[in-house]
Structure formats: structure tokens, C-alpha cells
Amino acid sequence: MASTQILAERQAAGRQAREHARRSQHAEIGNTDRDPVELLQENSAGRVEALIPLRYGRMSVSPFTFFRGSAILQAHDLAGTVNSGIAFPICGDAHLMNFGGFATPERQLVFDLNDFDEVATGPWEWDLKRLVASFAIAGEHMGLGRGPISEFVSTAVHEYAQRMHEYSEYSALDLWHEIITFERMAESATNDEGRSLVAKTAKKAASRTHESVLAKMATLSNGHWSIQDAPPALFHPAGPNSLLGKDSAWSDTKAWQGKLAKAFDAYLETLPADRRMLIGQYELQDIAFKVVGVGSVGTFCLVMLFVDGSGRPLFLQVKEARPSVIATYFPAQGPEHQGERVVSGQRLLQAASDAFLGWTTGPAGRNFYFRQLRDMKVSAEVERMSNAVLQGYARICGWALARAHAKASGKAVEIAAYLGNGERLAEALTEYSMAYAAQNEADYRTFMKACRSGKLEARSDEDMAADFRV
């Protein structure tokens, strides 16, 4: 069959998807007939009991932090909406704070999606809807009106559509090698303020190295590095500041370290031979439990500190991988091991992934994945952005999401045909984002009422840290 005929058929399939999922229907927010508190409690099951109040405490700061920690609610709601029928591994949590800069293994600073805990097969528009909703919710938190917020959303959607059309003309190999560098970001910036911010962020990224973490997080004594406890965010699992509880069996340090050694060996088997050889040049110094993010609080997360023969550090993060909220509401085949699911999805969606990305099964049968703790990683400081810069950021996020989806799906032609020029979807998602921001606000009020009544316990980092002060 001629390539032009194949292309025409693929384009026709994309346009045909509009028949069962009209673009205007994407304005609907879905099934919101649920108890947000009940769903959050279900999502907290199996987490470290003593850290669940900290999860709720971080979520209680604002409607935006609540949104960041409640991906399960939007996934539930989206399951009640029409979808394009074009599904593949999506990020699952593509809000505006889950994009950022980091270094590739070749030491190139790039911009991309950077959180894949919820990655799973799902409709591509679910990612786009989470992105635009995050701009609406963040914009309202910053005191912005409907006008600027609509501009952010429209910009993100139009950029997504424009880039998807561009990627529909790429070869499979060219698309696989497509990467958004900071140099390209600076070149595409529409004003001096944006170019200046890109340069400033690149400079900041260069300072965020393993050596900088070492100076802040660990101390050297008799030639051995030890991570310093800073509870509740950082503590030794079997130490006096541990929040893991007596029932966690972490108090038996030797037995636990033996189990972890087996888990680490299994992790090494998921790495290419050259990476195994590289990590073999490092010696383990210390392991600590580290609380990260908003939505991940209460999941098991460790930091492993290694040094090489010259005393230079390497920090690896060992993060628990729990079932994806996307998979809960859009059942599809995928890896049974949740760590493998995260790693496979990240490698597929990102332009370039962490050199030490791998997975294992840990004590008590928990699934984990490994990555570097910090390797020139930077994220946006949205609240400090002007409207012009925030609109530019929306454009970059739309670009990065389109690149990720085009690579992961191999269906840029179909998606581009479904989108058309992006105008109708931009109109629909503007309505969606504002309506979902209102829903999120209502859910936040319900959540805060549960916290004030004692149904949920919410504690801040400062409150919990005070428990450890003498």
C-alpha cells in the first residue's frame, strides 16, 4: 500500500474519532458524584501511618497543593467523560509542576516531564486536561482572573496541537531523537524576560549536583559519610527519629539491610551492563528515609549515599511504586511490577532518561524504582512568574507534552487529525479548566472541613519537626 494512502487512512481515523468524542464534549468535567475524603483515604491505605497527617498537611496549604496531591480525584472524574479512543502510556499526572529541567546522561540540560508515578495506558487528552486544570487552579491561587487564565490554557492547547501537527510529519527515528534543550527554549522565547529566566534557570541547574546535596545532607566522620536526620522529612529507618513504627520491622537493622542488599542486586539486573559496571565503582555509605513531594508523602522512599574511589558522591533515590490511579479508572494491560511500569513509561515518554533508572522488589513485597536524587534538576517557581512568563511556560509545557505523546504513541498523525487547528479543543478545555478549578475548590473545602472536624489529621512539616526538638 502506498505511503500516501496509509497516511490518508490514518488521518481519516483521527477525524473519525470526533464522531464518538466531539471536541466540544471535552468541556465536561465528568462524574463528580463522589466523596473526595473517602477517595483520599483509600489512596492513603498502605502508606506509612505516621506520615499520612503530613500528606494532608501539605495538601491543605492551598487549593493548588490539594490538586497536586489528589490525582485520584481527577482520574475518577475523567473516567466519566468521553474519550478519543486513542490510548497509550500517558504520564497520568501532567500538572504544571511535573515538568522541569534535568541533565541527560550526555550532560545536556533539557526540559521534559519529570514525574511518572501515575504513568499507565490512558487517553492522551487526560494528560492535557490535567495540565490545563493545573494552570487554572494555580492562576486562581495567584489571584488572576478568567482572562489571563484562558490565555494560558489556550496557549498550551494550541502549542500542543501545532507541535503534534509538526511531529506527524517526522519519521519514527527523528521523533525518537527529538529533544527540547534549554538552548531551544531560549530561542523560542517571545520576550527578553523569558530568555533571561531560561538562562537563570540553567545557571541554577548547574549548581544542583550530587556534591551540593552532600554538603547539605551529610557529614564526614572518620572517613565515612552519614546522612543527617532532619525529621519528619529525612530520618534513618531504624534510628531514634524513625516514623515508621514498631510494626514495620525496620528496627532489626541487620535483617533489613540483608533484604535491601538482595533488592539492590535485583535492581542492578535491570540496568545495562555498562551502568552496572559504573555503579560498581561506588561504595555505599548510608541509607535514609526521605519524604518527598505532596502526593507521594507516606509512600516508602529511601536515599542511598555512595562515594567513588575519589570520594565523589552519588545519591540514588529508591521510591515506592504503587498502582497508578489511571489504571484504576482506565483498565488496560501493562507490567505487573509497578516499578517496571514507572521505568518503562518514563523511558518511553521522556526524550532522555536517568542513567540509573531501574526497578526492584523490596522488603514486604513492595515495588520500587531507582533514579538519581538530584542531577541538575530544576522546577518552575510559578508563583514568581509574571503573566507573560507564565504564558510562555504554558507554551513550553504544551510543546513538551506533545513531544512525549508523539513519541510514546506513534500516533501523531491520528491525534493531529483529531485536533484540527486546535481551536475547538482550546475553547472546550478553557471551559473545562475553569469548571474543574471550581470543582477542585469545592473538594478542597470538603477536605478542609474534614481536617478541622478531626475526620482527617493534617499536620505541617513545622509541626511535626517540633516533635523532635529538645
Q: Is residue 457 part of a domain?
A: yes
pTM of the shown model: 0.95
> Reduced to 3 states, what is the DSSP secondary structure of residue 181?
strand
Least confident of 44-53, 281-290, 368-377: 368-377
Same structural domain, 366 and 387: no
| Identity of the amino acid at 103 | A
Among residues 115, 165, 167, 137, the alpha carbon closest in space to that of 65 is found at 137
Give 410-436 pLDDT, tens digit per residue.
999 999 999 999 999 999 999 999 999
Give 127-138 pLDDT, tens digit per residue.
999 999 999 999
* CA distance linking residue 334 with residue 323, whole number of Å: 11
36, 252, 321, 325, 387 from 39: Cα distances, Å: 5, 34, 19, 11, 34
Same structural domain, 145 and 126: yes
Among residues 122, 128, 126, the alpha carbon closest in space to that of 164 is found at 128
Same structural domain, 245 and 385: no
Helices (H) and strands (E) in the chain, counts: 19, 13
Instruction: Calculate what percentage of the chain has a pLDDT beyond 90.
Output: 76
Same structural domain, 261 and 390: no
Same structural domain, 81 and 222: no
Q: Is residue 327 part of a domain?
A: no
Instruction: Calculate what percentage of the chain has a pLDDT beyond 70.
Output: 97
* CA distance linking residue 138 with residue 390, whole number of Å: 10
Residue-level pLDDT at 253: 56
Same structural domain, 232 and 149: no
Domain that holds residue 150: 3-205+379-466
Phi, psi of 161 (to 5 degrees): -65, -45
Q: Is residue 278 part of a domain?
A: yes
Are 44 and 52 contacting, i.e. CB atoms less than 8 angstroms apart? Answer: yes
The grid cell for 438 is: 471550581
Q: Is residue 405 part of a domain?
A: yes
Strand order in the sheet with 378-379: 109-113, 99-103, 378-379
* CA distance linking residue 64 with residue 211, whole number of Å: 32
Same structural domain, 306 and 215: yes
Q: Is residue 245 part of a domain?
A: yes
Number of structural domains, the chain?
Answer: 2
Residue-level pLDDT at 244: 85
Concatenating the DSSP letter of every residue in 37-103 gives HHHHHHHHTTS-GGGHHHHHHHHTT-HHHHHHT-HHHHHHHHTTS---S-EEEE-S---GGGEEEEE
Residues 175-181, mean pLDDT to the nearest whole number = 95
Same structural domain, 40 and 168: yes
Concatenating the DSSP letter of every residue in 342-376 gives HHHHHHHHSSS--TT-EEEE-GGG-EEEEEES-SS
CA 43 to chain centre: 17
Same structural domain, 172 and 49: yes
Same structural domain, 41 and 189: yes
pLDDT, averaged across the chain: 92
Q: Is residue 236 part of a domain?
A: yes
Are 67 and 440 contacting, i.e. CB atoms less than 8 angstroms apart? Answer: yes
pLDDT above 70 for 403: yes
pLDDT above 50 for 251: no
Q: How many CA atoms lie within 13 A of 129 on its CB side?
A: 28
Among residues 277, 279, 321, 322, the alpha carbon closest in space to that of 304 is found at 279
